[in-house]
Amino acid sequence: MPIPLDAQNRKGVAPFAGACETSELLNFSELVSSEQKARRFLLGFCWKNHQRHCLHCKARKLYKLADGRRRCAACGYTFHDFSRRFLNACNFSCRQWLWFLKLFELGATPRDMAGQLGVHYETVLKAQDAVRRALLAQSLDAPALFRAGIWPGPGSTPPAQPLQDAPVFGLIELNGFMLCDLLPDLTPAALLHFKTNFHLATASLGQVVYTAPYRQYLSLLCCGPSLWPAQYVRHETKGLPVDANRFWIFAKRRFARLRGMAPAHFPLHLKELEFLFNHRQVRLFPLLAEAVCGVVPQG
C-alpha cells in the first residue's frame, strides 16, 4: 500500500495539514506504522477491553477456529473480529482504514483519497458511504430513519425499493448545537402544499429544497422529485432567514461540491454535516474510528 501524504504526493491535502498538531501526527504515525498496531487500535473500539462475545446471543464462551474466526459454544454463531461492522463495507486493511479516516477528517476529496491510498475511486465512495451510515446510526432519530426506508448498512436487509423522495427534516438550534430533526409526519407533498396554499417561501440548492421558518424550526429540508411536480413550480426565494445561519452556510458549501445526489443519500449527507458541525471543536479521528467499528443495525 502506498504511504499517503509523502513528500512527493501532497496534492489536494496540503491545505489541511495545519489542522493537525505535531503531537497528534506523531501519535497517528505510530498507529499506522504496522498493520498489527492499526488492527489493535480498531479492535479496542470493537470489543471492550478486547473481550469478545457472541454478536448473536452475547454469550462469552467461544472457541477459535483454524481460520481465525470464533464460534459461539451456546448458539453456534461463527464470526470474525470485524463481523457485522461498518468496516466490512470495503476491503481495506486496518492501516488503510486509519489513513482513510484521517483523510476524511481533513476534508480531502474522494479523488485525492483514491490517489493517496492507491485504491479505486469507487472503493473510496464505498468507504465514505460506510462512514456516513455509521454516523447516521449514532443519531437519536436513526431508528425512525431506518423505518422510513434508509438502509442501515452492509450485512443488513436492504429496502425492497429505493426511496423516491427523502424524508422531511426540520433544522433547529439547541444550546449551540444544530439538529437535523426527522419529521416523519410531514411528507414532500405536505411541504409543497404549504408552499402553494399557505405561501411558505422556499429556495433550492440543486434538488435540495429548504424553506422559511416553520413553527419551531429554522427551516424544513427535503430532496426528491415530488418537490418539482411541474414546470411552473419554482423554489427561488432569495434571502431566507436560514441563509444567514452558520450551519446552513457550511452545509450549502458542502452540498455545492456534490455532483448530484440521490434522495436516499440526502439523510446520510445531512447527518454527516450535523456531526461535523457539532464536533468542529474536537478531534474527529477517534470519533470516526469508533463509529465505523460499530455494529450495523439489523434492518
pLDDT given at position 299: 60
Does residue 121 share a domain with residue 169? no
Residue 21 has a pLDDT of 65
Exposed, middle or buried: residue 272 (CB in 10 Å: 0-12, 13-18, 19+)? buried
Of 100, 106, 169, the C-alpha closest to 131 is: 100
For residue 2, tell me if it sits in a domain. no
CA distance 34 to 1: 12
The pLDDT mean for the chain works out to 89
C-alpha cell at 282: 474536537
> 17 pLDDT exceeds 70?
no
Kindly report, residue by residue over 285-299, the tens digit of the pLDDT.
999 999 999 999 986
Q: Please determine, for residue 8, whether its predicted confidence score (pLDDT) is greater than 50.
A: no
Question: Are 31 and 96 members of one domain?
Answer: yes
Question: What pLDDT score does 16 carry?
Answer: 39
Of 50 and 93, more confident:
93
In a domain, 175, yes or no: yes
pLDDT of 10 higher than 90 = no
Same domain, 116 and 58: yes
How would you label 56-73 residue by residue, b for 16+ Cβ within 10 Å and e otherwise?
eeeeeebeeeeeeebebe
Q: What residue has cell string 476524511? A: 104
pLDDT tens digits, one per residue of 235-278: 999 999 999 999 999 999 999 888 778 999 999 999 999 999 99
Q: Domains in the chain: how many in total?
A: 2
Residue 53, pLDDT > 80, answer yes
Report if residue 268 sits inside a domain.
Answer: no
Query: Quick one: residue 131, left, alpha or beta (phi over 0 = left, psi -120 to 50 = alpha)?
Result: alpha
Domain-embedded: residue 21: yes
User: Does 126 lie in the same domain as 44?
Assistant: yes
Predicted confidence (pLDDT) at residue 7 exceeds the cutoff of 80: no
Q: What does the pLDDT read at residue 20?
A: 53
Q: Do 127 and 209 have their domain in common?
A: no
Say if residue 118's pLDDT is above 70. Answer: yes
Per residue in 171-189, pLDDT (tens digit) is: 999 988 999 999 999 999 9
Q: Tell me the residue range of the domain where 94 lies.
A: 14-137
Within a domain: 4 = no
Identify whether residues 90 and 169 lie together within a single domain: no
Q: What is the pLDDT of residues 119-161, one digit of tens each?
A: 999 999 999 999 999 999 999 999 999 999 999 998 888 888 8
Residue 7, burial from CB neighbour count under 10 angstroms (0-12, 13-18, 19+): exposed
Let me know whether 244 and 175 are in one domain.
Answer: yes
Report residue 150 as a C-alpha cell.
434508509
Is it the case that residue 13 has pLDDT exceeding 70? no
pLDDT score recorded for residue 230: 81
User: Distance of CA 231 to CAs 58, 193, 204, 207, 234, Å?
Assistant: 56, 16, 15, 14, 8
Q: What distance in Å separates the CA atoms of residue 205 and residue 200, rounded to the nearest whole number?
A: 17
46 and 92 part of one domain: yes
Same domain membership, residue 129 and residue 228: no
Show Cβ contacts of residue 197 under 8 Å, excluding neighbours closer than 6 positions.
none
228 lies in a domain?
Answer: yes
Say if 222 falls within a structural domain: yes
- Same domain, yes or no: 89 and 197: no
Whether the pLDDT of residue 50 is over 60: the answer is yes
Q: 167 and 130: one domain?
A: no
| Whether residue 205 sits in one domain with residue 107 | no
Would residue 290 count as lying in a domain? Answer: no
